Structure 1
Amino acid sequence: MLSNPGISGRRRWPALLLLAGVVALAGCDREGGEAAAGPEEETQAVPVETVAAARRTVAASYTGTASLEPLAESQVVAKTSGVALEVLVEEGQTVRAGQTLVRLDPDRARLNLAQIEAQMRKLENNFRRSEQLASQQLVSAGEHDQLRYDLENARAAYRLAALELSYTNVTAPISGVIASRSIKTGNFVQINTPILRIVDNSRLEATLNVPERELATLKAGQPVSMRVDALPGTTFEGRVDRVAPVVDAGSGTFRVICAFEGGESLQPGMFGRISIDYDQRKDALAVPRVALLDDEGDAAVYVIREDKAVRTTVTTGYEDGAFVEIREGLEPGDQVVTAGKVALRDGTEVQVIGGAPAATATAAARADGDSR
């Protein structure tokens, strides 16, 4: 049987129309998807906070910690034995050098002195009679010389006994404050036994072990400031009293001794945080230390230029608290990123959300520097 070409052609038309519709729908979906994806692929600006580089006073300093020590300290010991008849001082009392602190029983020492004095007087009389007889050549020169030596020995024994008697009054070897007392009235005191401790707190010293790289910068007379844990919020001023320039081979450090005026506030044993200012720049360009990038290599910051973060290499100088001196790489008023650095790369678009105008930040920093 022969097929009818007209009928077969009419049957293919619906299939072709259906295929064309599917292709058209697919094209529309693809165009719509591309159109929807376009805005999502746009780069969003990274929010950052900035501060303007400004001029301020920057001080170069060395900081360290040390405990305060008194200028002088003495353990008062009994130089003779005896019963303590009187203890004349209490802990915390201020005493002066030579002041009597404790009285020991003097009876034994007084009797010994009297016995030696009697022997000495007898020898003095014998020596005077011997001189008269020697002038008449009635005694030999040897006997006369022996009497002279005996008398000198007796006089020395007398002075020693008098010294022993004086030891029954225990006196202060230095001026200062009674820091501790280990004796009570009525106690028997053995010779050379420590009974009191005196500290001279009129001047206090703090010894720093400083790395040898600072040897050329720290000198006697430089100003020192100190804060102590026991007195928060108070700063004490002092000076470098002396520098021991010998470097310890084991630790690589040398000793710097700082002196402070003592008084009711500062006391020996307090722990101090010490800062020694050895140089100062009154008009240095500075930025906050947090602006410096944490990565390795040369020091750098992100500077905002035309709404983009530009990585800029800088040369730093002194560090003073929260600020660092910038000697090269920035100009006054340059906005440097202080927060949001982690998400930045060189050329990243940014949105400043916490920056102050350059002129305002510069003026504020200058006022802060002038108030130091």
Structure 2
Amino acid sequence: MKKWISLVVVAVLLTGCEKLEESVAKLKKIDEETVIKLKTVNAYTVEENAEAKTLEVAGVVTPRQELALSFGTSGKIASILVQKGGVVKAGQTLATLDATTLQQGIHAAQGQVASANIRRSKAIQGPESHVIQTQQLQIEKAKETAQKAEREHAQAKVLFANGAIAKDELDRLALAERQAKLTLEEEEVALGKLKQGADRLDVEQANADVQQANVQLSRAKQDAADAILKAPFTGVVAAITKSESEQTGAGSEVIRLVDTSSWLVKLQVESEQIGSWQQGATIKVKAADGSEAEGKVTFVSPVMDQGLGSYPVEVTVTGSDVNWKGGMTVTCQYPIETKNVVVVPVSSIGIAEEEYFVMKIKENTVEKTPVKVGGMYGTFYEVLEGLAPGDQIVGSGLSYVVDGEAVQVSDE
């Protein structure tokens, strides 16, 4: 009997131990599952920056100069002397028009100038001697006519008094006498003008004719010059839009020339950063292919672009052998002093309802905290308000956690 009771007690104790171990295992498993369910986050401890940083702003590369070249007059293209992609020098002839008609125009204008100059010389010199002699002969002839008319009129008076002629005949002869005398006076006046020398009005008219002829000649020469297309600067032929023997009009693009000796990078800088940009500052410009060059800030707009809400800035890159193309996107790195300011990784900043925020870690719980940011320095944001040195925040993956959630910080 005692033996049986002992066996029962042992069995009960063994059963109890097994149940206890089972309960402990269950609790341990629940605890492990709870730990596993906690999200692991990378933390970043906020501290004051002790080194200088750089502002990084992306911009678009454009050639410093890009011109659509055209002839100044219309005509048929006689020759195109360059090829697309070719390098040309300033003043080099790129294309010409058929100049046959233009040269004829120059010759005609030169003839008009010569004729006008001859007429002006004659006007200045006054009438020649043979002209004066001819006028004197005209006067002698007019005198004879006037004397004859006077005699005939005198005879007619006698005849009329004796009733030999009618009154109408007397009047006709009287009129003929007056007309003969007037003609004589006119011839004498003309001789007097000839003897006075050059006529002022004639000289002025001759000068005006010469001036007009010279204007026509200048215009013809300009048309001929406009028929030759020359490079205004050293550059690369980016496009040829016309072909030889094709008609073209004045102002119609024939060749597009690009100056690649310098590049212009156009930026849009946020209002929080514009105060750091100074005209004349030297910066580094980097392209996506890894090439980089030194640039200089050549323009900082004093007013905001209201459409974009930012300030236009231009950076000029000169004397560089980078193989850039117009339209490329590059990054301008502007060095500035950022000592004793709070900076955090860009990946730790979120935006919600036009407000910046971070996920601050307090006692293994994340708390959504609004912040005010300043400039962007490479991969870091300056934080003006909302954080203090020593604060711990989620360094990346903000969409992975929610406000108030329990987390565990990664050992890394």
Q: Select the structure of larger CA radius of gyration.
A: 2
- Aligned counterparts of 1:152 and 1:62: Cα–Cα separation in 2: 63
Alignment TM-score, normalising by the size of structure 1: 0.68
Counterparts in 2 of 1:144 and 1:53: CA distance versus 1, 3 Å: closer
Counterparts in 2 of 1:216 and 1:49: CA distance versus 1, 3 Å: closer
Partner of 1:222: 281
Partner of 2:119: 126
Q: Specify the code of the residue in structure 1 equivalent to 2:253.
A: P
Deviates more, 1:174-183 or 1:309-318: 309-318
Q: What's the offset of the Cα at 1:146?
A: 0.8
- Aligned counterparts of 1:294 and 1:247: Cα–Cα separation in 2: 23
Aligned mate of 1:240, from 297, 300, 304: 297
Counterparts in 2 of 1:157 and 1:345: CA distance versus 1, 3 Å: closer
Alignment TM-score, normalising by the size of structure 2: 0.62
Partner of 2:259: 200
Comparing both structures, which one devotes a greater share of its residues to helix?
2
Q: Specify the code of the residue in structure 2 equivalent to 1:213.
A: E
Q: What's the offset of the Cα at 1:259?
A: 1.6
- Aligned counterparts of 1:256 and 1:208: Cα–Cα separation in 2: 5
- Aligned counterparts of 2:374 and 2:210: Cα–Cα separation in 1: 79
Q: Which structure 2 residue ranges, 5 or more long, are not aligned?
A: 128-193
- Aligned counterparts of 2:401 and 2:248: Cα–Cα separation in 1: 76
Give the number of equivalent residue pairs. 326
Instruction: Answer yes or no: is 1:57 the counterpart of 2:116.
Output: no
Over residues 101-154 of structure 1, what are the superposed CA-to-partner deviations in whole Å (9 max), with x where a residue is unaligned? 112222211111111111211221221222122896234211121111111111
- Aligned counterparts of 1:325 and 1:120: Cα–Cα separation in 2: 77
Over residues 242-301 of structure 1, what are the superposed CA-to-partner deviations in whole Å (9 max), with x where a residue is unaligned? 011222334322211122237653444232132342523478887756577999997565
Aligned mate of 1:255, from 278, 299, 312: 312
Partner of 1:85: 78
Check conservation: 1:299, 1:315, Cα contact below 8 A. Answer: no
- Aligned counterparts of 1:82 and 1:315: Cα–Cα separation in 2: 65
Instruction: Give me the identity figure in percent.
Output: 20
Q: What's the offset of the Cα at 1:350?
A: 6.2
- Aligned counterparts of 1:196 and 1:28: Cα–Cα separation in 2: 99
Aligned mate of 2:337, from 280, 285, 294: 280
Q: Specify the code of the residue in structure 1 equivalent to 2:122.
A: R
Counterparts in 2 of 1:211 and 1:283: CA distance versus 1, 3 Å: closer
- Aligned counterparts of 1:345 and 1:160: Cα–Cα separation in 2: 80
- Aligned counterparts of 1:251 and 1:351: Cα–Cα separation in 2: 40
The within-5 A match list for 1:128-207 is 128-133=121-126, 137-207=196-266
Q: CA RMSD in A?
A: 4.5
Check conservation: 1:57, 1:284, Cα contact below 8 A. Answer: no
- Aligned counterparts of 1:291 and 1:171: Cα–Cα separation in 2: 57
Q: Which structure 1 residue ranges, 5 or more long, are not aligned?
A: 1-16, 355-372
Q: What's the offset of the Cα at 1:180?
A: 0.7
Over residues 139-178 of structure 1, what are the superposed CA-to-partner deviations in whole Å (9 max), with x where a residue is unaligned? 4211121111111111121111121222232222333211
